[in-house]
């Protein structure tokens, strides 16, 4: 296949197909109903970010008249047209799914009320108990085509069309005898307003409550129409990085600029009148292509709150709590354990707590001299941030690289940076022009035989909250070479210098891409020499054309390539003469697949790596990333086993076909009608973590059980 346009899938459309797979989980009848609601809410949140970033960037290119094409040959406007067509179908699917879920929720006693379904007593409660709150908190804003108030992206608004009372000469009415006002929904009141009910949990959306009480905002006007709407603004901004202080102030400017950036999407309730629709289109200067009719309540992300309701446990997924690590249990001294062996943790099946505890222990350990750590995304009340601050207050040399450009976490990271600085932590913000995405923590400790370095390499963020929801890998080690490399890596990014060649790790944007290409080429050479050769990898996205072409070359040489790619995949598998030896699967299940694991057969001398980087140009060329070899036998064996577990999945796995569609493994022709044993990878990984903990508990019990001698026999 020589036609370049047929070698790749468009990245934006591939991402939309990922979101469709998430939506398919919301439509999957085998999932508990509140689990399905969770997936539906996630699709809405995902789509918001997609429009803010990807559509926002394409829109800017299109408006400049750019003719730059992607690897499939599509220009910006062509991509926008394709995105909008696909998104409209997705929105229709979302709300068809919502309608189905609301029927099932109603059977459970969880019901969304409307003005028509409120009982008389509920209407009385709304007017008696909520009118003052709603009318006092919300402020209507007069709106005109030529004088529209500034509207924030992501906020739900109610547009009200009014007609002034007769004789009201003060009313500024437009042609046709009506005028408009908009009411922004407050985040200080619940979006889903609970009303008393003897039938379960019944709620009214805040926008419906406002519409019902509109006459309280405008007591002398006739209410002609009320309709909810919402705009999405472009968040694809760049920042100057002339200095650290410029970066900090620049990020603040970016956060402010997002409030005023161009509209990339206008969502309007499908029930809106033509007059309301025409007014919003003109006043916001939004063309028809950017307007989306929403056949139900807007901003379905808010429905996530239903998944935490108490008393509906049978409608939720069975809990899979993280298990304590057999090697780094709560009673273990982490330094003593890691001095003897490296430890691999598979989250969220194994708890992230040992990583947190290692830092908390380091903060108060008198023998710890220094801590160096990168921070990309952290939790709201981060114990890791607290540990770093405590360590600095205890006189340890603490350096934290806080990435201010972590999109949508900028304000939180600015706040954390200031707090760490006030505690005495040396805070840096990375290398100019690059985003630091590597996940690494180094603890330097004085021991009897000299200074020892303990290192944590991760595929996920230092966020104990998301570590319960994301599938990631942690590798903790005192390996001498990895420790030396870790120090060299951190000193290079903190001192803006180019390191000497690393002993074993690789880093982007220096040598990571070349290392991957070299390893792929070695597999090709081995195959050409008549040896077994294979590449098995797991990551979130494959977009980079150079690495894609290298995998095509491997396939053409006969190398077996198995890829587990959660999200975007621009590689086209299964094409004769191009990629018939490449198999791509995607798994969407209750935990977000986030780990990056790579296994090269390497002539039987298995090479296994974990990484912070996806195979995208941004990760390999514009970010600071790490590729870490896992050489100790037990950890390497576990990672290979974890990879193979994913490829055995026949419950939640989808296979990417040559035409770009995804098919569930269980629906493939060769599997249809077969009496297969169900194999769900995430369940299997959790079950193994439970079994490992149980085995360890039993071993401990046996080890400390009093010995029975002959005299003790019954």
The residue out of 449, 479, 504 marking a domain boundary is 504
Using the CB atoms, write b or e for 87-100: b if 16+ within 10 Å: beebbebbbebbeb
pLDDT of residue 164: 75
Residues 672 and 558 in one domain: yes
Distance CA 476, CA 333 (A): 13
The span from the first CA to the last CA of the chain, in angstroms, equals 79
With respect to residue 259, please indicate whether it lies within any of the assigned structural domains: yes
With respect to residue 704, please indicate whether it lies within any of the assigned structural domains: no
Catalytic residue among 201, 347, 437, 654: 437
Cβ atoms of 594 and 347 within 8 Å: the answer is: no
pLDDT of residue 250: 46
- At 10, list the tokens: 């468009």
CB atoms within 10 A of CB 287: 9
Residues 103 and 161 in one domain: no
The residue out of 89, 108, 127 marking a domain boundary is 108
Distance CA 365, CA 156 (A): 50
Residues 124 and 94 in one domain: no
Residues 411 and 434 in one domain: yes
With respect to residue 709, please indicate whether it lies within any of the assigned structural domains: no
pLDDT of residue 359: 97
Number of domains the chain is built from: 4
Three-state SS at 171: coil
Q: Which of 416, 90, 134 is nearest to 248 (CA)?
A: 416
pLDDT of residue 171: 43
Long-range contacts of 190-196 (CB under 8 A, 24+ apart): 190/305, 191/156, 191/299, 191/302, 191/305, 192/112, 192/302, 192/303, 192/305, 192/306, 193/126, 193/130, 195/113, 195/118, 195/122, 195/125, 195/126, 196/121, 196/122, 196/125
Residues 472 and 586 in one domain: no
Residues 97 and 146 in one domain: no
The DSSP-derived string for 491-514 is HHHHHT-PPPPPSS-EEETTTHHH
Cβ atoms of 192 and 205 within 8 Å: the answer is: yes
Distance CA 175, CA 507 (A): 64
- φ, ψ of residue 571 to 5 degrees: the values are -75, 140
Distance CA 686, CA 591 (A): 11
pLDDT of residue 85: 97
With respect to residue 318, please indicate whether it lies within any of the assigned structural domains: no
Write the CB contacts of 224 (distance below 8 Å, at least 6 apart in sequence).
Answer: 161, 162, 163, 178, 273, 275
CATH number of the domain enclosing 89 = 1.20.58.310
Write the CB contacts of 148 (distance below 8 Å, at least 6 apart in sequence).
Answer: 283, 284
Active site residue 437: yes
Residues 241 and 274 in one domain: yes
Three-state SS at 4: helix
With respect to residue 123, please indicate whether it lies within any of the assigned structural domains: yes
Residues 575 and 452 in one domain: no
CATH number of the domain enclosing 193 = 3.30.1840.10
Stated length of the chain: 714
Is the peptide bond preceding residue 615 cis, with omega within 30 degrees of 0? no
Q: Which domain holds residue 624?
A: 508-698
Distance CA 541, CA 564 (A): 9
**How far out from the chain centre does Cα 79 lie?**
23
pLDDT in tens, 5-59: 589 999 999 999 999 999 999 999 999 999 999 999 999 999 999 999 899 889 8
With respect to residue 405, please indicate whether it lies within any of the assigned structural domains: yes
The residue out of 286, 314, 342 marking a domain boundary is 286
Residues 491 and 592 in one domain: no
Strand partners, 609: 598, 629
Which stretches in the chain have pLDDT values below 70? 1-5, 165-176, 236-261, 405-410, 413, 669-675, 701-714
The DSSP-derived string for 77-106 is HHHHHHHHHHHHHHHHHHHHHHHHHHHHHH
pLDDT of residue 667: 81
Residues 281 and 361 in one domain: no
pLDDT of residue 128: 87
pLDDT of residue 498: 75
Write the CB contacts of 526 (distance below 8 Å, at least 6 apart in sequence).
Answer: 532, 533, 601, 602, 603
pLDDT of residue 261: 66
With respect to residue 361, please indicate whether it lies within any of the assigned structural domains: yes
CATH number of the domain enclosing 649 = 3.30.870.10
pLDDT of residue 246: 47
Residues 123 and 270 in one domain: yes
pLDDT of residue 403: 81
With respect to residue 232, please indicate whether it lies within any of the assigned structural domains: yes
Residues 498 and 512 in one domain: no
């Amino acid at each position: 296949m020589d036609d370049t346009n047929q070698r790749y899938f468009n990245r934006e459309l591939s991402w939309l197909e990922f979101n469709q797979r998430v939506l398919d989980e919301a439509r999957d009848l085998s999932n508990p109903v509140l689990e399905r609601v969770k997936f539906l809410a996630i699709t809405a949140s995902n789509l918001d970010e997609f429009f803010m970033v990807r559509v926002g960037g394409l829109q800017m290119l299109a408006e400049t008249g750019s003719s730059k094409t992607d690897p499939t040959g599509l220009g910006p406007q062509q991509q926008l047209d394709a995105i909008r067509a696909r998104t409209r179908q997705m929105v229709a699917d979302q709300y068809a799914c919502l309608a189905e879920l609301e029927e099932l929720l109603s059977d459970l006693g969880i019901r969304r009320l409307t003005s028509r379904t409120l009982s008389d007593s509920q209407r009385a409660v709304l007017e008696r108990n909520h009118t003052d709150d709603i009318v006092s908190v919300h402020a209507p804003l007069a709106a005109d085509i030529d004088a529209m108030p500034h509207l924030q992206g992501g906020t739900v608004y109610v547009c009200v069309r009014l007609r002034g009372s007769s004789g009201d000469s003060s009313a500024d009415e437009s042609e046709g005898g009506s005028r408009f006002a908009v009411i922004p929904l407050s985040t200080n009141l619940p979006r889903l307003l609970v009303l008393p009910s003897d039938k379960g949990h019944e709620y009214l959306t805040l926008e419906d409550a406002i519409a019902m009480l509109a006459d309280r905002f405008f007591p002398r006007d006739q209410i002609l129409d009320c309709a909810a709407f919402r705009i999405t603004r472009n968040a694809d901004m760049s920042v100057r990085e002339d200095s650290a202080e410029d970066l900090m102030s620049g990020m603040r400017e970016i956060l402010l600029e997002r409030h005023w950036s161009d509209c990339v999407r206008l969502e309007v309730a499908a029930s809106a009148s033509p007059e309301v629709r025409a007014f919003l289109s003109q006043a916001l200067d939004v063309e028809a292509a950017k307007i989306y009719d929403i056949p139900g309540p807007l901003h379905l992300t808010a429905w996530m709150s239903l998944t935490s309701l108490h008393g509906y446990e049978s409608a939720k997924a069975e809990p899979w709590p993280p298990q304590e690590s057999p090697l780094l249990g709560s009673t273990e001294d982490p330094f003593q354990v890691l001095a003897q062996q490296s430890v691999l943790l598979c989250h969220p099946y194994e708890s992230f707590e040992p990583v947190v505890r290692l830092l908390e222990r380091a903060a108060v350990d008198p023998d710890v001299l220094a801590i160096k750590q990168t921070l990309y995304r952290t939790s709201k009340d981060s114990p890791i941030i607290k540990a770093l601050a405590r360590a600095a207050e205890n006189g340890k040399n603490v350096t934290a690289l806080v990435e201010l450009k972590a999109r949508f976490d900028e304000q939180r990271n600015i706040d954390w940076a200031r707090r760490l600085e006030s505690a005495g932590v040396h805070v840096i913000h990375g290398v100019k022009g690059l985003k630091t995405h590597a996940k690494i923590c180094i603890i330097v400790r004085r021991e009897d035989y000299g200074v020892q370095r303990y290192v944590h390499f991760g595929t996920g963020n230092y966020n104990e909250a998301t570590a319960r929801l994301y599938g990631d890998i942690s590798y903790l080690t005192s390996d001498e070479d990895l420790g030396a490399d870790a120090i060299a890596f951190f000193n290079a990014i903190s001192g803006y210098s180019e390191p000497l060649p690393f002993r074993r790790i690789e880093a982007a944007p220096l040598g990571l891409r070349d290392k991957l290409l070299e390893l792929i080429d070695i597999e090709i050479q081995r195959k050409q020499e008549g040896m077994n050769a294979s590449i098995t990898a797991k990551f979130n996205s494959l977009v980079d054309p150079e690495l894609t072409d290298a995998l095509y070359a491997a396939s053409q040489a006969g190398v077996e390539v198995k890829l587990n790619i959660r999200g975007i995949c621009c590689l086209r598998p299964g094409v004769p003469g191009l990629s018939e030896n490449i198999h791509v699967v995607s798994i969407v299940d209750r935990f977000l697949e986030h780990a990056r694991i790579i296994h090269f057969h390497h002539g039987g001398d298995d090479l296994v790596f974990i990484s912070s980087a996806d195979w995208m140009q941004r990760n390999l060329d514009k970010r600071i990333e790490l590729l870490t070899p896992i050489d100790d036998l037990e950890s390497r064996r576990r990672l290979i086993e974890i990879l193979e577990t994913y490829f055995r999945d026949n419950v939640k796995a989808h296979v990417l076909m040559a035409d770009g569609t995804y098919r569930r493994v269980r629906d493939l022709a060769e599997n249809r009608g077969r009496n297969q044993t169900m194999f769900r990878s995430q369940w299997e990984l959790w079950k193994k973590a439970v079994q490992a903990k149980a085995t360890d508990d039993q071993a401990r019990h046996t080890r400390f059980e009093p010995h029975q001698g002959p005299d003790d026999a019954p």
